[in-house]
Amino acid sequence: MTVSLPRSALVTGVAGFVASHLAEALLDHGTQVTGLDRRSPETDAVAAANLTACLGRPGFTLARADLIDCELAPLLATVDVVFHLAGIPGVRASWGARFPEYVASNIVATRRLAATCHQLGVPRLVVASSSSVYGPAGDRPVTEDGPTRPMSPYGVTKLAGEQLSLAYGSLPQPATTVVALRYFTVYGPRQRPDMLIQRALQAALGGEELLVYGDGKQRRDFTFVGDVVRASLLAAGVPGPAEVLNVAGGNSVSVTEVLATIAELTGRPVPTRSAPDQAGDVPGTWADTSKARSLLHWQPRTGLADGLAQQLDWLRCHQPGGHR
């Protein structure tokens, strides 16, 4: 990678799936990383597993803190870049009783962080946004200037957080420049346990059968976590006060096609059961990534079959139920 990486960075949501990979990559490049999360590896098994490769590594400091009310100034004093990935993810759960948490973490805490970065003059804020800001894809890949019509409460909160962050970058002579990355359905080792591919691989390895929502024809532009990390690192150095970029694998693939590829890889069909359509589940996502190609000189490198094989290998090594 030819980009100049920050000497010092704050990574929020570091105990999570994507941010833990990002923190590892930054450490590999010699960046001093403060990783912030409200989940603790001492009390949360997923956080502990995600942070295994970071904890104890020179250059890594873990800050257990809630972005809603923690003291931000000491965390931001010396950083060149903030990678803000903390948030409440998950489209389907956002209709339920946890909606106030989505608002608190995805909107209120994001605005608070962006405002404090601006006050303290942190040079660059990179924010994790989401494909769910768009609503359903048409018959062409969506560009960043396409309409934003989120179909779920989650998507509404991600759009609000993204736009609030970009508003700080759009101030005259902004103290903090902002890049919002619209990640499209990320998968790979350590994927969240509520997501399709993790559940399907677990089912194929003998775990609970997978509930397939709707007819299985819904399509996603699945993106390998290594590609998401590379785009996020490059976003630290891209010029411009306020940019929004799609980060996606480049192909729209149906749930049924994913299950067929997993069956080929594992040599056994994925056991499934039909379940009703889920509210807010868009029929398809599909991204045009030419802006990331031209601004970041980035393109996805890992195709679905290869990425699924990497996630499967990881699962076989790390899950008690996983066996070769």
Please name the amino acid found at residue 207: G
- Residue 55 exposed, middle or buried by CB count within 10 Å (0-12, 13-18, 19+): exposed
Q: Which stretch binds ligand NAD (CB under 6 A): 86-94, 114-122, 229-237, 297-305?
A: 86-94
Nearer to ligand NAD, 104 or 238 (CB): 104
Q: Could you say which of 86, 93, 204, 315 contacts ligand NAD (CB under 6 A)?
A: 86
Q: Using the rule CB under 6 A, is 75 a contact of ligand NAD?
A: no
**Dist. CA 232–CA 250, nearest whole Å:** 17
Report CA dihedral (105, 107, 113, 117) to the nearest 10 degrees. 160
68 binds, among ligand UGA, ligand NAD, none (CB under 5 to 8 A by kind): ligand NAD
Catalytic residue (choose from 154, 168, 183, 187): 154
Q: Using the rule CB under 6 A, is 55 a contact of ligand NAD?
A: no
Residue 297 CB coordination number (10 Å): 12
- Chain centroid to CA 183: how far? 6
Q: Could you say which of 68, 279, 305, 317 contacts ligand NAD (CB under 6 A)?
A: 68
**Dist. CA 10–CA 136, nearest whole Å:** 33
213 binds, among ligand NAD, ligand UGA, none (CB under 5 to 8 A by kind): ligand UGA
Q: Using the rule CB under 6 A, is 183 a contact of ligand NAD?
A: yes
**Alpha helix (H) residue ranges in the chain:** 17-28, 45-51, 73-76, 99-102, 109-120, 153-169, 196-204, 225-235, 255-266, 290-296, 304-318
Minimum gap (Å) between residue 34 Cβ and ligand UGA: 24
DSSP letters, 259-286, are HHHHHHHHSSPPPEEEE---TT--SB--
Minimum gap (Å) between residue 218 Cβ and ligand UGA: 4
Q: Could you say which of 6, 35, 37, 212 contacts ligand NAD (CB under 6 A)?
A: 37
Q: Using the rule CB under 6 A, is 18 a contact of ligand NAD?
A: yes
Residue 292 CB coordination number (10 Å): 25
154 is catalytic: yes
Q: Which stretch binds ligand NAD (CB under 6 A): 25-33, 166-174, 182-190, 199-207?
A: 182-190
Q: Could you say which of 10, 15, 156, 180 contacts ligand NAD (CB under 6 A)?
A: 15
Residues in contact with ligand NAD by CB under 6 A are 13, 15-19, 37-39, 66-68, 85-89, 105, 109, 128, 130, 158, 183, 185-186, 192
Active site residues: 154
